[in-house]
Amino acid sequence: MYENCGVTNLFLCISCTILGGGGAWIVARFASKWGMIDVPSYRSSHAQPIPRGGGVGILSAFLLSSLLFNIPSSFWLPITALALLSFYGDMVELSPKFRLFLQFIAAIIFYLGINATFENKICGFLSGIAITVFIVGTVNFYNFMDGINGIATITSIVGFGFLAFYSFLSEGCNSFAMLSACICFSCLGFLPFNIPRANVFMGDVGSIFLGFAFAGMVVWLSKSLLDFICLSALLFPFYADELTTIFVRMKDGENLLHAHRRHLYQLLANEKGVSQWKVSVGYGIVQLVVGVTVLMLKPFGSIMILCILMTYFAGFTMVSFFIRKNLAAFL
């Protein structure tokens, strides 16, 4: 296990920051030549065409770090493969069903790979089907929530920062702690290109990669069901917004496969007119509060963690439905 946390790692984190920003800069400059332009539609929160695919720099930082820290290929290979296919999807439109098929294939390969690499204790609690659905669900939640300036980037900085801290507390300065930190720094490098005004979007290559990497980290780092619950909770705002939105759409009889603009963050940024960067920072603050609470209460066990998460979710749901009720005329 990797144990060197010296100057070399500091330079690597700086390099990942440069890669995250460099990828965004390159795509912003050449996106029109590559056909990587996000043209606004009825579900978009932007009015002008914006280059997409800037998350390729974040992927590059992940791949470099994985190789340098000797991360098992069973971890980084399926994540990278799906991200590269998603990068292609940023240039050529892929059907939602085909994209979902690719995601399930990558998630299944990932699950089989971690079982072959070592005995992961969480797999004893959850079946392969449950873990595959968790990974694919997180991938899509990340992708759906990446709809306004900065929200996916800020969430990633906080989320992967927590994962690095959690891993460091559990096993010291190990390879996965450093890998999480490098992803965090690469997102930090991307952030200025996406907030407060978006010069480039991270695209599917960014959001799908980050969703898969986060879910993969949760599964890989979990040594117990309590670990799995705590680590999953580090993405609380995304899960809460997506689950409440799914419930609302099902209640209204909508087709869940159709594109929409009914997430709470979208309503705040569009119908309520709150600046996108303020909404994104607000979600990051909520994520920070939940993460700190979960880490502090982890010693009290699963029941305590589940109770506090249910309380937070109930609070989020009440706020969500209050805002939706006030905006009923727009929906």
Give residue-wise pLDDT tens across range 156-205.
Answer: 999 999 999 999 887 766 889 999 999 999 999 999 998 888 889 999 99
pLDDT value at position 43?
Answer: 67
Structure tokens belonging to residue 234? 């580090």
For the cut 70, the answer to whether the pLDDT of residue 111 exceeds it is yes
pLDDT value at position 234?
Answer: 96
Rounded to whole angstroms, the Cα distance separating 181 from 292 reads 17
Is the overall model pTM greater than 0.95, yes or no? no
Q: Quick one: DSSP state of residue 1? A: -
Least confident of 87-96, 115-124, 194-203: 115-124
Give residue-wise pLDDT tens across range 282-308.
Answer: 999 999 999 999 999 999 999 999 999
Rounded to whole angstroms, the Cα distance separating 247 from 136 reads 19
Strands (E), the chain: 37-38, 50-51
